[in-house]
Amino acid sequence: METIQKLSRKNFWIIVLNSTSAYVLAYLLVFYINHFIKVVMASMFHIPVGFDWDQVYFYIEGYQWTHDMVTTIFSAGPFMVLIFGVISLGAFFSLREEVARVKIFFIWFTLIAFNFFFGNLLIGNIFTKGIGYVFQWAFFSDTARVVVAMIGFFGLGLTALVMKKPILFSANSYFTSIKEKNFPFFFTAQIIVPFIIGNIISIFYFFPRILFQERYSWLSLAVVLLILFMSINEQEAVMFDTDDAPPPVIISKVMVVLALVLYVGLRLALNSKLSFF
């Protein structure tokens, strides 16, 4: 009866709001970790740089670039994002038994971070964008680039397998169990709709300059989520701690406010180009 009562339109949109806020927070943090790592790495080579809300500008001529510069500047960010993604996954498992709704933030951060890294190996490598510049400057053969792309592909598949249990266990923030009756409701509200809305919100954030990563990264993440849905749907029912009272379905005000402040604040603060020489 408790499960049936929670499958309401109001609760659906509360879960969507919480998860979408977490998605926006995670997306912006992943993007700006990579963004500012580029700035820091460029400063190590004494390269004058400028940056705004979506781009880093390098004030040097093309012939001044060296292999070390390209390798360090364009690979450090994705690797740092991957490291933070692993840390985020560890943070989730430390809270796995808790009903705290902040767990969905760690899930989205891990998903987006892993997608950023492995998606770059796959899509960025093919189109020579992002970390793909490193492989171009390293004069990788076509065979080597195919191998790197395959690593990215299997990395995305591994991401789906790794995130199966975390997504299932995130349901204990709202339900005492996850089973055939409430799984479609939960997965749609917690994952599918926030993914769609979150991507639309991110496009508006970067408008009018929609960069390569923002145009195509959703494709690889969509594949990961599809694999997740198909694999989780085959799982047996999962029972959480039924000794306590069912957790209430309420708005996570802190997460919603943080997402709004970060979204608006960063866009306004970085609207003008900042330069460092």
* Number of domains comprising the chain: 1
Helix 142-162 to helix 212-232 angle (10° resolution) is: 50
Beta bridge partners of 56: 51
> In this model, does residue 219 exceed pLDDT 50?
yes
Q: Count H helices, E strands: the chain?
A: 12, 5
How many CA atoms lie within 13 Å of 244's alpha carbon, on the beta-carbon side? 15
Both structure tokens of 100: 């705290």
Structural domain for 167, as ranges: 2-276
- Mean pLDDT across 225-240: 78
Provide the residue type at 23 as one letter: Y
Give per-residue pLDDT as tens, 39-94: 999 989 989 998 888 888 989 887 888 878 888 888 888 999 999 999 999 999 99
The most confident of the ranges 11-20, 165-174, 179-188, 239-248 is: 11-20
The structure's pTM equals: 0.90
pLDDT digits (tens, 9 = 90+) for 192-211: 999 999 999 998 898 887 77
Query: Which of the pair, 12 or 127, is modelled with greater confidence?
Result: 12
- Residues 240-253, mean pLDDT to the nearest whole number: 77
